[in-house]
Structures are given as structure tokens and as C-alpha cells.
Amino acid sequence: MKNAHVLIIGAGLGGLTATLALQKAGLKVTVFETAPQLGEVGAGLTISPNATHALEYVGLGPYMAQYGDRPEAAASLHYQTGEVLYYTQRDSDFRAKYGAEYYQIHRADVHGALAAAVRANDPNAIHLSHTFADVTQAGDTVTATFSNGKTYTGDVLIGCDGVRSAVREKLFGGGPPRFTGQSVFRGVVDAAPVLEHMIPTPSATTMGPGRIFTRYYIRKRTLVNFVGIARTDAWKEEGWSIPATVDEMLSVYGDFHKHAQAIIKSTPPGKLFKWALFDRNPLPQWTVGRVSLLGDAAHPMLPFLGMGAAMGFEDGAILGRCFEASATIDEALARYEKARKERTTMVLLNSRKQGELYQSNDPVSMRGQTSGELRLGLFDYNVKTVAV
Ligand SMILES: Cc1cc2nc3c(=O)[nH]c(=O)nc-3n(C[C@H](O)[C@H](O)[C@H](O)COP(=O)(O)OP(=O)(O)OC[C@H]3O[C@@H](n4cnc5c(N)ncnc54)[C@H](O)[C@@H]3O)c2cc1C
């Protein structure tokens, strides 16, 4: 098994975590990424304790401790009055309970740290400008073909190529993902001009009919990341970087509380983006022969539980553990799919339900609720100890 060569398609958060976990298991890993250079969009990411366990497993514990923001509490607020509908403490009791921190961080920081760790293990592991086009299996080998005409042969291939996964399409077809009727605005602004609006907690979600507005600090409270998710089919463009304007966002959030509006209004020109949300129904199986899927390629989900990347981090760590624990590649892939499918399907389906709850026509009905992640026990999962 130590001689096995793994081909990873996609150098996103999931693909790089899987690469590190497989390198830790002693395998040779080559990553193929369509982009000409590595990078992530300017946006924040919530790293819940279950995700922290996975990042710690691949060696990023010290990095997260140094660069992650730790919001000691979060609140859900009424969109008009600003009333706290429910409150979640995330301090030392929380750490004692789950054994790992809850962080919020810039996506580009985590992505950069993962890529640097992969390259520290193997400087030639990541091949940029390689767009996966096809895969064939013959005997015990897999051969990937790229649109630049190059081919590479290995022992196993994992598609980590996101919501529009070409690997998934090759394995199972199914066409493009489903537009969910939800669209997103996102921005990152300087914290200093909006400090008075970051109350009562460093992390908060404001809830209105058909819309939520989430904001939290990143980069040691020097920046504020915000995301507005609204039920609308006004546009269906995908991609993280479609420009939007403050006026456009205010036409959707103009009746929201002054604190939310002040943060939106502080966004400089060119720093506000929008995109439409897509997901897919759960797959009945992920693996065909020596080819499998991971992260959004396997289970793209709505962001209402903040668990999409977390599921990819968990997948990656568990994939590494499965290779470590198995005598053959077939056994490792079977263990991986068995360990991960039920949990990710549960989170995918509950992310849809959570969206309906959050965007209820009567936000007051959320008074006294428990946050979805706590209610579902999502933080109890520890990749280091769960059975594989
Ligand atoms: C509004 C919003 C907020 C979110 N907030 C959170 C959060 O707070 N916490 C959380 O855990 N999750 C969050 N998520 C979800 C999270 O962003 C995704 O689940 C995560 O980025 C998926 O990682 P991935 O590596 O599977 O896919 P991706 O990040 O999409 O990476 C796929 C990679 O594959 C490459 N690629 C694509 N096609 C090919 C090809 N043919 N050949 C080669 N390479 C290819 C891409 O360029 C990319 O680098 C959020 C999502 C949204 C929409």
C-alpha cells in the first residue's frame, strides 16, 4: 500500500486536506488543479470543532491556533428590532466539551497553509493548469487525461473538483447541479469603521423573511466577513466572483436592522460579490473501481449549517486513515465510503432544512432555539477517533 500512487483532481480545501492525510499515511500523491495558480477567494470560513479535529489531524493545529479568530459567542438577531432570538456560548465549556476550538478565518489563509504543507512534504506534488477531462481504468491502474493533452497513470484517483465535478459526471452522469432558489452576496470589509455595529457578539446572524445576513471577524478582528443569503431567482449565475453593488444588496436587505445595513454600506466599490447557490441530491454510491469522490464533488450542500468545507476536511482525514488501516486499495475505498456517506448525507439534507428554518416568514418563531449544528450534534464527530 505504501507504494500506491494517488491522483487527486482539484487543489481546493478538500483535495489539499486529502493530500496531506494520504502523505501522512506514507503514500505518493499527485494533485492536478485546473487553475494556473493556487488561491482562494477573499471570504471567511467557519471552522467548527469537528473541522478543527480534521485540520489538526493533517498538522494544521498550530497554524489555526495562531491565525484563527475565536468568537467567544454567537447570536441570532431579529432583522428589524435587533432582538437576540437565541445565543450560543463558544468559550471554554465549549472547548472542554468538543476537545477542539471553534475558529473563524480567511479562506485564503487556510488554503495557503494547506498548500504550503503539501509542498513541504513534496515540492512537486501540485500540478497547475491541468484540467481533468477523462479517466480510464485497466486492471489495477487508473489513467487520467487532461485537456492540455497530458496523461498520468496511478493506482487510484479521487475527484475533489467541486460542485461541478467532471470526475463525478464521468462516473455517474447526472448533468449540472440544481439551482436551489437561493442567492448569495458576500464581502469583506475593514473592521475599524464598523466596530460599533459588531454587537452584541463577534459572530452573528440576522434573520428576516426569506433572508439571512451573517457577519463575523477574521484576521484577528481587523476584517469583517459578511454573507447575505436570500430566497430569490433574480439571477442564476454561478461562481464566487460576480461583481455586485451596495445598492443591489440594499434592494434586498433595505429593511434589515441598521447594524447590518451599516456593514453593507461600508463595502468599497469592487469588493461586493454575488452568486447563485446550487446543490445536488445525495449519491447512492461514490466509488467505481479505483475512482472515488470527496468534498463538494461527492456532496455539495447549502451553507446554512456552515459545514461544506468541514465535510471535505473530514473526508480528507478519514480517507488517509482508511488507507493507513487497509491492506488493499479496494478495502481502503470501501472503508472510506462506508465511514463517510451516512454522515455527509445527513448533513446535506439537514442543511436544506436549516435554510427553511432560518428563512422562516416569522423570525420570532426562532426565539429560544438551539443552533442547528448543536441540535444535530455535528461537533461531536472526531476524525481522530471515529471508527473506520
Ligand atoms: C456562501 C457560502 C459560505 C460557506 N461557508 C462555509 C463555512 O463557513 N464553513 C464551511 O465548512 N463551509 C462553508 N461553505 C462551503 C465550502 O466553501 C465548500 O464546501 C468547500 O469550498 C468545498 O471544497 P472542495 O475542495 O470540495 O471544492 P472546491 O473548493 O470547489 O475546490 C475544487 C477545486 O477543484 C478545481 N477543479 C474544478 N474542476 C476541475 C477540473 N476539471 N480539473 C482540475 N481541477 C478542477 C477547482 O479549481 C478548485 O480548486 C460555504 C459555501 C458557501 C457557498
pLDDT (0 to 100) of residue 329: 97
pLDDT (0 to 100) of residue 358: 80
On the question of pLDDT at 16 being above 90, the answer is yes
For the CA of 227, the nearest atom of ligand 1: 1
Q: What's the whole-number mean pLDDT along residues 287-294?
A: 98
Distance 160 CA to ligand 1 centre (A): 9
Q: What's the whole-number mean pLDDT along residues 255-274?
A: 96
The gap from C-alpha 311 to its chain's centroid, in whole angstroms, comes to: 7
For the CA of 311, the nearest atom of ligand 1: 11
pLDDT (0 to 100) of residue 306: 94
- What are the sequence ranges of the domains in the chain? 5-67+102-176+281-357+372-380
On the question of pLDDT at 225 being above 70, the answer is yes
pLDDT (0 to 100) of residue 235: 64
Which has the higher per-residue pLDDT, 232 or 114? 114
Q: What is the pLDDT of residues 90-149, one digit of tens each?
A: 887 788 899 999 999 999 999 999 999 999 999 999 999 999 999 999 999 999 999 999
Q: What's the whole-number mean pLDDT along residues 167-181?
A: 92
Pocket-testing residue among 161, 163, 229, 249, ligand 1, by greatest number of atoms within 8 A of Cβ: 161
pLDDT (0 to 100) of residue 40: 80
pLDDT (0 to 100) of residue 238: 67
Distance 40 CA to ligand 1 centre (A): 9
Pocket-testing residue among 17, 37, 41, 45, ligand 1, by greatest number of atoms within 8 A of Cβ: 45
Kindly indicate the confidence band of residue 42, based on its pLDDT and cuts at 50, 70 and 90.
confident
On the question of pLDDT at 1 being above 80, the answer is no
For the CA of 44, the nearest atom of ligand 1: 8
Kindly indicate the confidence band of residue 279, based on its pLDDT and cuts at 50, 70 and 90.
confident
Pocket-testing residue among 7, 8, 13, ligand 1, by greatest number of atoms within 8 A of Cβ: 13
Least confidently predicted of 6-20, 97-111, 220-234: 220-234
Q: How far apart are CA 89 and CA 326, in angstroms?
A: 40
Distance 268 CA to ligand 1 centre (A): 25
Looking at CATH, the fold of the domain delimited by 5-67+102-176+281-357+372-380 is given as: FAD/NAD(P)-binding domain (3.50.50)
pLDDT (0 to 100) of residue 361: 77
